[in-house]
A = this chain, B = another copy of it.
Amino acid sequence: MRQTFDDHADPSFGSKHLPLIREELRKQGLDGFLIPHEDEHQNEYLPDANERLSWATGFTGSAGAAVVMADKAAVFVDGRYTLQVKAQVDAALFEARDLVEGGVPLYIETEAKAGAVIGYDPRLHSPDALGWLKIAADKAGATLKPVEGNPVDAAWASARPAQPQAPIAPHPLAFSGEDSADKRARIGEDVARAGADAAVLTAPSSIAWLFNVRGGDVIRSPLPLGQAILNKDGTAELFIDPVKVTADLPAFLGNQVTLARPDDLPKALSALKGKRVLVDPAQSSAWYFDALTNAGAEVVRGADPCALPRACKNAVEIEGARRAHVRDGAALTRFLHWLATEAQTSLPDEVEVVSKLEAFREATGALKDLSFDTIAGAGPNGAIVHYRPTLKTNRRVEPGQLLLVDSGGQYLDGTTDVTRTVAIGKPSEEMRERFTLVLKGHIALARVRFPAGTTGSALDALARAPLWAEGLDYDHGTGHGVGSYLGVHEGPQRIAKAANTTALRPGMILSNEPGYYKTGEYGIRIENLQVVTEPSPIAEGERPMLGFETLTLAPIDRALIVSERLSLEERAWLDAYHARVLAEIGPQLEGDAAAWLEGACAPI
């Protein structure tokens, strides 16, 4: 079993760990210290060794920060986590504050004493965020001081888990579709076009993509933690712990890639003196900017040159994604069959639901990992958008409730992410009405054709308009990018209310996941992955239009659809989708499941 259901931290962490941290601050002559959630890789998921915020406070959310002063401390979370922070953090020790409204800068500005010296670890802060913090400290008459040794790490010391040392292995051409040398040559040209001689790459997903390697340093995604310097001629230095280097890796990388130790990185940055070096301020911490500037290099601020090419999957990656989705769809469909039959009478709890689904995925024999911890939300738990079942929150589904299951798998040929919402027993009319509104939005975003240059922000309202018309909405994005056996959340494209200037391009894989959440009662989400298709002509039309090909294959619960509320076009889409699910998944199933799928895919 890959997923666990324990709480990784508890409210006693504060009283246990805060004195240790304060003792380290005294030793270093600091009056305070900033503890962001982000680690030195500015990655979505952290290795256990870098869960500093959680160790210091008990808070385990995916975004946040803390400030520890000698006589007070505060923890900062956004709107998603206001309830969670109360349950996880000792309020006697940490004042809970809003991460977005005012955030850490306002706290520094109003709470730091004049003359106070507040430390920060420059490896953990983006240069832009640090700018705001410095302005705030100035206003308070305080000083921000970079530290060499992180006092949290010193306090944690022997109890701290080791840094991960998962082996880094070649990712074969059969899955990547493009040789690393070719990638490095063309990205090198992009670096030159950006006016730079070299680029510093610190995003683990960029390292993985550029060198066609995969690791396992971070849970739920096959990422190798490391850094690289890519020169404009396509040669590169790759900084990874030698213990992670597998036997065939050096030959696979070839002689244009020099393997080096992470300890060699400062020296290598110094050697860039006089060069123009591209660094992404959204991806690389202030430490890199300082190191390069101090070395006498000229920093060129710009987007990670791997980000956009990585997002646009090539033909081999798209074909892999299709295969992965047929395999994953068969596992998910077996699970949905179980839910629709056995589980309707022998009602499972969320942990059992997660375990059952994981077992079906495991049985494919191809599962490398889950792509994230499965969200199984029964009844009211389904309405908590960022829910993950634990032994404490675990609920058994009851008749008349909805079960929301958001899950995905990591396979060598692709990463999946799918949400289905299923009725247990007889759903209410309101549930069906609202499920149908969500489905209308999902279909609008699945069917849309659009011209080159269109961004995800421009399409977001198509998925929301049916809900908006009824006075409803959902408080999350509609679609995120997805990697190819990489992170399940991948930029730079996104379908969301927030402005995003990245145009959708052929080969980008995105989720389409509108939802509706009724607090205390139920949650609905319908999520498929879809890949942006090449611009193609439309009969009688004038301009070729891009569109989406749906990758995810699993039935959508017909019991929750009010078919009269669908337009002819919407019904046609749904029937065609279900026909495709039956044609592609049906042959992989056996007996009862195969028979059940026929009914589940019948025209509406």
Residues of A within 8 A of B (CB): 444, 447-451, 453-455, 457-462, 465, 468-473, 497, 499, 501, 537-545, 567
Contact = CB atoms under 8 A, between A and B. Distances in A.
Given A461-B461, A461-B462, A471-B538, A499 B497 contact: no
Contact of A449 (B448, B469, B537, B540): B469
Contact of A448 (B451, B465, B540): B465
B461 A540 contact: no
A471 B448 CA distance: 11
Contacts of A473: 451, 543
Contacts of A462: 461-462, 465
A453 B498 CA distance: 10
A499 B455 contact: yes
A505 to B, nearest CB: 16
Closest 8 CB pairs of A and B: A471-B541, A471-B538, A458-B461, A499-B499, A449-B468, A470-B541, A450-B468, A449-B469
Given A465-B448, A499-B501, A543 B457 contact: no
Given A462-B462, A470-B540, A471-B543, 10 more contacts: A450-B461, A450-B468, A454-B461, A461-B462, A462-B465, A470-B538, A471-B537, A471-B538, A471-B542, A472-B541
Nearest to A546: B468
A121 B458 CA distance: 39
Given A457-B457, A457-B458, A461-B458, A471 B540 contact: yes
A468 B537 CA distance: 11
A542 B472 contact: yes
Nearest to A516: B542
A447 B457 CA distance: 20
A538 to B, nearest CB: 3
A459 B464 CA distance: 11
A458 B460 contact: yes
A567 B444 CA distance: 15
Nearest to A469: B449
A460 B497 CA distance: 13
A469 B539 CA distance: 10
Contacts of A448: 461, 465, 468-469
A458 B497 contact: yes
B453 A545 contact: no
A398 to B, nearest CB: 24
A501 B457 CA distance: 11
A229 B437 CA distance: 52
Contacts of A539: 471
Contacts of A458: 457-458, 460-461, 497
Contacts of A449: 468-469, 471
Nearest to A501: B499
13 contacts: A444-B465, A447-B469, A450-B468, A451-B468, A457-B458, A458-B458, A458-B497, A470-B540, A471-B542, A471-B543, A471-B544, A472-B542, A499-B501
Contacts of A543: 471-473
A103 B155 CA distance: 58
